[in-house]
Amino acid sequence: MNEDTPKYMIGVAAELVGMHPQTLRLYETRGLVRPRRTAGGTRLYSDAELMRLRRITELASGLGLSLQGVEHVLALEDRVHQLEQQVADLGAALDEAARVMQTEVESVHRSYRHEIVPYIPPPGAELVIRRRRMR
């Protein structure tokens, strides 16, 4: 089980976060939380949703934001989280592409090294190097 596993019914969730169950229903109606439902329609809250409810309380009570302000802040925080995940995914893809490219470069280097034959002058031959004059 992880923090996204739904496990608390509305009464327990409300008690854990210090809210009235009707407040949780209101937040669900406003789209601030999205509890899962059992086949019978019972709301189940996860630890992640409880943390979100605490964040709502912090924004509303602690900072004095209206519910509309809370909705806006949470939407921005959710977008930041999505972008952070996208950056992490792109970074991982870039790392993988760099690894593949390095492997290809090493393969090319190995292939042409086999084709290079060092020049060994015959015995008694003298190597003459001529330099061009610059004008």
| Confidence tier at 127 by pLDDT (50, 70, 90) | low
* Rounded Cα–Cα distance for residues 131 and 92 (Å): 51
Considering the domain architecture, whether residues 60 and 38 belong to the same structural domain is answered as yes
Residue 122 forms part of a structural domain = no
Q: How many domains does the chain have?
A: 2
Containing structural domain, residue 78: 66-114
Identify any residues that bridge with 9 across adjacent strands, giving them in sequence order: 44
The dihedral of CA 82, 25, 19, 12: what is its sign? negative
Residue 130 forms part of a structural domain = no
Cβ count within 10 A of residue 113:
8
pLDDT higher than threshold 80 for residue 57: yes
Considering the domain architecture, whether residues 54 and 72 belong to the same structural domain is answered as no
* Rounded Cα–Cα distance for residues 17 and 32 (Å): 15
**What's the average model confidence in pLDDT over 69-98?**
97
pLDDT tens digits along 103-120 = 999 988 888 766 777 778
Considering the domain architecture, whether residues 29 and 51 belong to the same structural domain is answered as yes
Considering the domain architecture, whether residues 27 and 83 belong to the same structural domain is answered as no
Considering the domain architecture, whether residues 75 and 87 belong to the same structural domain is answered as yes
Considering the domain architecture, whether residues 90 and 60 belong to the same structural domain is answered as no
Question: What's the predicted TM-score (pTM) here?
Answer: 0.67
Considering the domain architecture, whether residues 53 and 11 belong to the same structural domain is answered as yes
Q: Strands, E, within the chain: which ranges? A: 8-9, 36-37, 43-45
* Rounded Cα–Cα distance for residues 50 and 16 (Å): 8
**What does pLDDT average to over the chain?**
90
- Listed range (3-7, 24-28, 109-113) with the worst mean pLDDT: 109-113
pLDDT higher than threshold 90 for residue 135: no
Q: Which of 44, 74, 46, 47 is nearest to 58 (CA)?
A: 74
Tokens of 119: 């020049």
Considering the domain architecture, whether residues 58 and 92 belong to the same structural domain is answered as no
Considering the domain architecture, whether residues 12 and 27 belong to the same structural domain is answered as yes
pLDDT tens digits along 6-16 = 999 999 999 99
Considering the domain architecture, whether residues 90 and 52 belong to the same structural domain is answered as no
Enumerate residues 6+ apart whose C-beta is below 8 A from 55.
74, 77
